[in-house]
Structure 1
Amino acid sequence: MPNIFQEGAMTTGHAGQLAFERRGEGPPVVLLHGIGHDRHGWDPVTDRLTPHHELVLADLPGHGGSPLSHGGGPLGVIELTDRVERLLDELHLDSPLIAGNSLGGAIALELARRGRARGVVALAPIGFWSRLEVAYVVAALRGSRGLARLLAPLLPALVRRSVVRATMMGLYFAHPLRLSADETLRTMRAFADAPGVRAILPYSRHYLFGSGRGIDQEAITIAWGTRDLLLIGGQARRARRLLPAARHVRLAGSGHVPMSDDPAGVAGLILAQGRRKPSGRSS
Structure 2
Amino acid sequence: MEMHHIRRGTGEPLLLVHGLGGSWRTWTPVLDELAAEREVIAVDLPGHGETPPLFGEVSIDTLAGAVTSFLDAHDLEGVDVVGNSMGGRLVLELARRGTVGATVALDPGGFWTGWERYFFYATLAPSIRLVRALQPVMDRLTASAVGRTLLLAQLSARPWELSADVAREELRTFAGSPSFDELLRRLAFGPGQPGTDSTPGPVVIGWGSKDRVTLPRQAKRAVNRFPSAQVYWFEGCGHYPHWDAPDEAARVILVATARNEKDAS
User: How does the TM-score come out when normalised to structure 1?
Assistant: 0.87
1:85-96 to structure 2, matched below 5 A, reads: 85-96=68-79
Which one-letter code corresponds to 1:62 in the other structure? G
Whether the 8 Å CA contact 1:133–1:233 is kept in 2: the answer is no
- Partner of 2:156 in structure 1? 173
Task: Give the paired residue count.
Answer: 262
Separation of aligned partners in 2, 1:61 and 1:131? 29
- Partner of 2:16 in structure 1? 31
Q: Could you tell me how far 1:198 is from its partner in structure 2?
A: 1.9
Separation of aligned partners in 1, 2:29 and 2:141? 23
SS in 1 for 2:98: coil
Higher deviation after alignment, 179-188 or 92-101: 179-188
- Partner of 1:212 in structure 2? 196
Q: CA RMSD in A?
A: 1.9
Higher deviation after alignment, 56-65 or 148-157: 148-157
Q: CA distance change for structure 1 residues 89 and 139 in 2, over 3 Å: closer, same or farther?
A: same
Identical counterparts, % of pairs = 34
Higher deviation after alignment, 138-147 or 33-42: 138-147
SS in 1 for 2:137: helix
Separation of aligned partners in 2, 1:45 and 1:188? 18
Q: Could you tell me how far 1:117 is from its partner in structure 2?
A: 1.4
SS in 2 for 1:254: coil
Structure 1: runs of 5+ lacking an equivalent: 1-15
User: Between Structure 1 and Structure 2, which shows a larger proportion of strand residues?
Assistant: 1
Q: Could you tell me how far 1:219 is from its partner in structure 2?
A: 0.3
Q: CA distance change for structure 1 residues 120 and 146 in 2, over 3 Å: closer, same or farther?
A: same
Separation of aligned partners in 2, 1:246 and 1:256? 19
- Partner of 2:37 in structure 1? 52
- Partner of 1:64 in structure 2? 49
User: How does the TM-score come out when normalised to structure 2?
Assistant: 0.93
Separation of aligned partners in 2, 1:154 and 1:55? 33
Whether the 8 Å CA contact 2:210–2:216 is kept in 1: the answer is no
Correspondence 1:140 to 2:133: no
Separation of aligned partners in 2, 1:161 and 1:264? 24
Separation of aligned partners in 2, 1:231 and 1:59? 22
Higher deviation after alignment, 36-45 or 229-238: 229-238
Whether the 8 Å CA contact 2:209–2:238 is kept in 1: the answer is yes
Q: CA distance change for structure 1 residues 278 and 98 in 2, over 3 Å: closer, same or farther?
A: farther
Which one-letter code corresponds to 1:236 in the other structure? A
Q: Could you tell me how far 1:161 is from its partner in structure 2?
A: 3.0
SS in 1 for 2:257: helix
Whether the 8 Å CA contact 1:17–1:67 is kept in 2: the answer is no
Correspondence 1:255 to 2:241: no
- Partner of 1:202 in structure 2? 185
Whether the 8 Å CA contact 1:222–1:249 is kept in 2: the answer is yes
Structure 2: runs of 5+ lacking an equivalent: none
SS in 1 for 2:211: coil
Q: Could you tell me how far 1:199 is from its partner in structure 2?
A: 3.2
SS in 2 for 1:211: coil
